[in-house]
Structure 1
Amino acid sequence: MLEQQLINALSLGSVYALFALGFTLVFGVLGVINLSHGAIFMLGSYAALLLVEKMALPLWLAMLAAMVATGLIGLIVDVLVLKPLRKRNAPHLIPMIATIGVAIMLTNLAQGLFGAENKRFPVGTIPEDSVTIGNLHVTAVQVGIVVIAFVLMIVLLAVMRRTQLGRALRAIAESPKAAYLLGINVEGLFYLTSFAAAALGGAAGVLVGLSFNAISPFMGQPMLHKGIAVIILGGMGDIRGAMIGGLFLGFAEVLTVAYISSDFRDAVAFGLLFLILLVKPSGMFGKVLERKA
């Protein structure tokens, strides 16, 4: 049934978009592709799981705490890894390689602490309520995923477009040196960006964990590939592009599984991505802006 597949696609695409938002935020402001974002996404799922299991926190509070925890991890990565490289004016490739190392370390740490097998939320944690209209079946989890993802995306977009903080971040994205000369606390906003981006990644991790009720140390790597595809499709550093690109990828995957075969899910989705980039190499939202000195 097409309507059911569209609901499933909207739920999956919302998570992709939310994950990609944190990815594109770091690239837009710091000018870095943070390849540890997938591992931080994975840690968000585990943080929520531990808070629910060990501390019996309600799910909504566990998700907020997981966002704070992953935000702090992102901040630590910035302070210990990205900041020293910024001070040395390292080429763009160096932070990418460094964050690959961070991702491997975090993944191995999670595997050592929690094991390689899938973990699940305790029975009764995930709401089982649903609404059935004819052949259309919508679960409370799907509704929650879409609502939470869109609220976070709209809030971020509003902050970037309509607040003084957003204007300062856009100024840094254009030229960190010029922003510093204008009196903007560039380093402080770098920290804030790293925290916010990692928190969004953590939120996406919790939502994926709830959606599939399966959490593993290796769940971040496939999502990282999807996130890279989404931000390239939408236009590097463009928030609107990350939102629309994530939804596009989610719809492409779900409809491929439903009407072609699950074996061709990634082939069709990334094939469509390839075709779009042939027509518009800079992504859906115009040219990629080059950062000035």
Structure 2
Amino acid sequence: MKNRGEVDINSTMVVSMAIGFIITDILSHEFNKGLPIAFPEELTGSGPLFRIGLISIQAGQVWSLVIGAVAVTAFFILLYKTRAGRAFRAIAEDPAGARLVGIPIFKTGIQSYALSGIMGGMTAVLIAMLLHSASPGLGEHIAHKVLAVSIVAGLGNLVGGLVVGLALGVLEALIQGYFSGSWSNSIAFVIMIFVILWKPKGLFGIKV
């Protein structure tokens, strides 16, 4: 039996998604009437940066790949090689135990939310560079896929989430190349359903 006020990861995830939908809806009415705003061409590029055979590579794709790789590497170094990262993982795994060893729960929680906000904001900028525009609903369809990736990998398993996310991206690109692009939007959820039926805790298991 859980104590009053104790919240599990599923409840936290659902509440976070609900708050996200509310903020998106508010911004859709207040920010440029929900219409997308063009991203600077200096970052996205007005044309292909270079070509490899029949493949055209744009500046926004290169910047997104480089910045994303650096950000993910820095994030994992912070999380697994620093004292602050160990505190984040300790609170996520066992808040009561973390409090007993002297980790400031509230302060560390605020720091983790700030870090999440920074990573989320950076992700939004990278997506806008790929799509050449930004809007309040920019990340809605991606947020749904992130949920599917988290469940397939195992909630809280960051390394598993990274592997599954990369694999899903490659699979979607192959589907868009050989079949209709509309099928790529549902493939993540098809895989999620099969994984839930086969391994409810995800392919890599639940881990912090």
Q: Considering the TM-score relative to the shorter chain, is it more than 0.5?
A: yes
Give 2:146's match in structure 1, choosing from 227, 235, 240. Answer: 227
Residue 211 of structure 1: how far off its partner (Å): 0.3
Q: Which runs of 5+ in 2 are unaligned?
A: none
Query: Are 1:147 and 2:63 matched, yes or no?
Result: no
| Letter of the 1:284 counterpart | L
What is the TM-score normalised by the length of structure 1? Answer: 0.62
Distance 1:269 1:255, change over 3 A: farther
| Structure 2 counterpart of 1:110, one-letter code | L
Aligned AA for 1:145? S
Flag structure 1 segments of 5+ consecutive residues without an equivalent.
1-87
Taking only aligned residues, the RMSD between alpha carbons, in angstroms, comes to: 2.5
Match of 2:44 among 95, 104, 126: 126
Alignment of 1:184 onto 2:66: no
5 Å matches for 1:131-280? 131-280=50-199
SS in 2 for 1:282: coil
Q: Distance in 1 between matches of 2:153 and 2:119?
A: 18
Which residue of 105, 110, 119 maps to 2:27?
A: 110
The CA distance in 2 between the partners of 1:102 and 1:277, in whole Å, is 25
- Give the aligned residue type for 1:235: G
Identity of aligned residues (%): 29
State the Cα distance separating 1:189 from its structure 2 match: 0.9
Taking structure 2 as the reference length, what is the TM-score of the superposition?
Answer: 0.84
> Per-residue displacement from partner, 1:109-150 (whole Å, max 9, x unpaired)?
322132122221244453356122333332222121111111
Considering Cα pairs closer than 8 Å and 6+ residues apart, tell me whether 1 or 2 has the greater RCO.
1
SS in 2 for 1:263: helix
Q: Give the C-alpha shift of residue 220 in structure 1.
A: 2.8
Deviates more, 1:248-257 or 1:134-143: 134-143
1:219 partner SS: coil
Which amino acid counterpart does residue 126 of structure 1 have in structure 2? T
What is the number of residues matched between the two proteins? 203
Residues in 1 aligned to 2:62 and 2:184: alpha-carbon distance in whole angstroms:
24
Q: Deviations over 1:84-132 (max 9, x none)?
A: xxxx715447655654553243223322132122221244453356122
Q: Which moved more, 1:273-282 or 1:177-186?
A: 273-282
Paired residue type of 1:186: I
* C-alpha distance 94-171 of structure 1, shift in aligned 2 (>3 A): closer
